[in-house]
A and B are shown apart, each in its own frame.
Chain A
Amino acid sequence: MTGDLAAPYQISGSTPLKAGATPELLGFKAYNLARMAAIGLNVPYAFVLGTQLCATPGTVTPDLWRPALAVLERETGLTFGDPRYPLLLSVRSGAPVSMPVMMETLLNIGLTDATLPGMIRLTGHPRLAWDACRRLIAGYGEVVAGIDAGAFEADLSAVSAGEAEPELDFAVLRDLAGRHLATFAREAGSAFPQDPGAQLQAAIVAVSASWSSDKARSWRRLRNLPDAMGTAVTVQRMVFGNAGGLSGAGVGFYAQPQRRCTRTVGRFPVQRAGRGCGVGAAQRRRARGPGHSGPAGLGRTGDGDARA
């Protein structure tokens, strides 16, 4: 990587941290992911569009991220938009300082009518595929198309019959995805995009733009943080916390500053996608339901990635 981050920064297995990689350029989240990858931890492959790139509207185009995506495809053995082995992506914000809940994240980018059967083929898990699908439509609808979250929550209420979200089976989630598509078309005035490249570009732009949202600006003003820092955008291979009762997503801490102790603690609700674990208002709304601490199988990432 060069010091000015003219190109996306690749995070891949056991690659040493490159010279010049700093939280200011990569954002705090991606910088720490790169450090963890560098010491050999199992970090899903990713590329980062640095703070300088994202600071200038119009700089981030498909021509910028396509080469980095090609590297990601090569490293994962999956292909973005492929109907047989589709690569799905998360698109996450990441400022040089922690700004919890203030910016946006999008999950399951790349899932379309054409790639959904491929996800079922890869995972053997229809519920996971339909859950990912309905989350993408609702998340994309809120963050990119600016649709009120209430419209999607009304769809959820209509199908859930009082059941918690983790209890909804694949058939209900498929029905919900169909309702979300109709809601998206009605509210946005156009159909949900079925072009994975268009999804990714719009997601990067929207997540980058969330740096300038009213709530993010207010938060920085209250903490005397400069607007000039900007946010980076991390595009990362999806791993799933909603792939069954031994799958979860959560947060872990190696110390408890409030209690002045170094005991490792964490909370890992099962059957949760990553948006329910402390980032984003929309995420919190979708994280309702009973949690569970310490299911077996934690420590692995990549549930549902297995190929035949």
Chain B
Amino acid sequence: MAKRVSVAVLTAAAQAEVGHMGWLLAGAEAMIFGAMEALGPDHLRIGDRLDDVIGAGEAQEFLLAALTLAASGLHTRLGSARIADQMRLLLMRHMARHPDEFAALEEHAAFCQALAEGLRDALAHGLEHDEKKAQKLAGRAKAWERKADHEVMRLRDETGSNTRRLPFLRLIEVADDAADALEEAAFLLSLIAQGHSTGWNNDLRTKLLQLASKVLEATQDHVKALAIGRTLTEASTADDQTEFLTVCWRVMAAERVCDVLTRDVRGLLVRDVTDAATLNLTTDFAAALEETTDALLRTGYGLREPVLLRIGTTDTRVGA
């Protein structure tokens, strides 16, 4: 622990009139090390500092609660073994409350939503005929994709040897495929807008808009899943847990819908488009949109595991 955190804990304990006799009798720092070790290498490894892993504020709150628990245990003659058990549960609760690993994912998801909305709006407002606006969108998409990429790199740096954050790093790396695919779609649309939408009739335009709308819906559900997931703990209501799983499954179901829509687009292209450049670019454009939901599907699957672990179950069939 950093010295300033230790001082803050002792000051708060003194103000709350929590003594340290119970703490010493229960095993003091050895009891905390025991609780940390009991969490296993998925959460903490030898040499990890608690305030590095869960943040100084959370560590401070945990230690104050630990001192209070030990003092109360002494008062009620709980016994050191039972105090140690409760200490493990207390640490697990504080570990689960630490939400920072969600922050990068949420920021990344917000950029994906912005990208998807830009594409949906572009199709709705006919940017395939407006080269200047389509190029502007491609430029904005590139900037958003870079910012999303920055979140990946930031989480990679923060994760370092922290194995507890590894699942979140893997998740954001998968989600980054969605950002890449969306940026690619915006780039392709800027090429299409250079006079390569010959044969884009109402049927095709409608189908592409449906595809882009579904992709946008999936990115928004991804944002919702993260917003709910970060709040879930073992104390969450069944409604919240069910809602989380419902949204995750909706993200995954979107992939199947987009698969069908992409095939429909290809069918229309074969039927109505003869210009080679239009055919090639539009096929790739639709494929890039569809690839987004592939990446979101994989992210949705992966997201359930760490969240359900926080809830206290790994049964991912719930709500399926």
Contact = CB atoms under 8 A, between A and B. Distances in A.
Interface stretch (A122-130, A131-139, A194-202, A213-221): A122-130
Interface of B is mostly: helix
A245 B119 CA distance: 10
A259 to B, nearest CB: 29
Interface residues of B, number: 26
Contacts of B219: 124
A121 B228 contact: yes
B111 to A, nearest CB: 8
Given A117-B227, A120-B227, A121-B224, A245 B114 contact: no
B281 interface: no
A296 B114 CA distance: 19
A295 B125 CA distance: 8
B275 interface: no
B61 interface: no
A292 B121 CA distance: 12
Interface string B84-113: 000000000000000000000000001001
Given A125-B113, A244-B120, A308-B243, A120 B223 contact: yes
Contacts of B221: 124, 308
Contact of A126 (B140, B223, B246): B223
A246 interface: yes
A308 B243 CA distance: 6
B258 to A, nearest CB: 17
B144 interface: yes
Interface residues of A, number: 21
B240 interface: yes
Given A125-B113, A244-B117, A292 B125 contact: yes
A245 B224 contact: no
Given A245-B124, A308-B243, A121 B227 contact: yes
Given A84-B240, A124-B221, A169-B144, A244 B121 contact: yes
A227 to B, nearest CB: 47
Output the residue of A292, A295, A308 with the most chain B CB within 10 A. Answer: A308
Contacts of B299: none
Contacts of B124: 245-246, 295-296
B220 A123 contact: yes
B247 interface: yes
A170 interface: yes
Contacts of B20: none
A124 B117 contact: no
Given A171-B147, A244-B120, A127 B243 contact: no
Given A84-B240, A123-B220, A245 B144 contact: no
A125 B121 contact: no
A170 B124 CA distance: 21
Contacts of A295: 124-125
B246 A308 contact: yes
Contact of A245 (B113, B120, B228): B120
Given A126-B223, A292-B125, A170 B117 contact: no
Contacts of B243: 308
Contacts of A126: 110, 113, 223
B117 A308 contact: no
A124 B224 contact: yes
Would you list the 5 A-B pairs with minimal beta carbon distance, nearest first? A245-B121, A124-B220, A121-B227, A126-B110, A124-B223
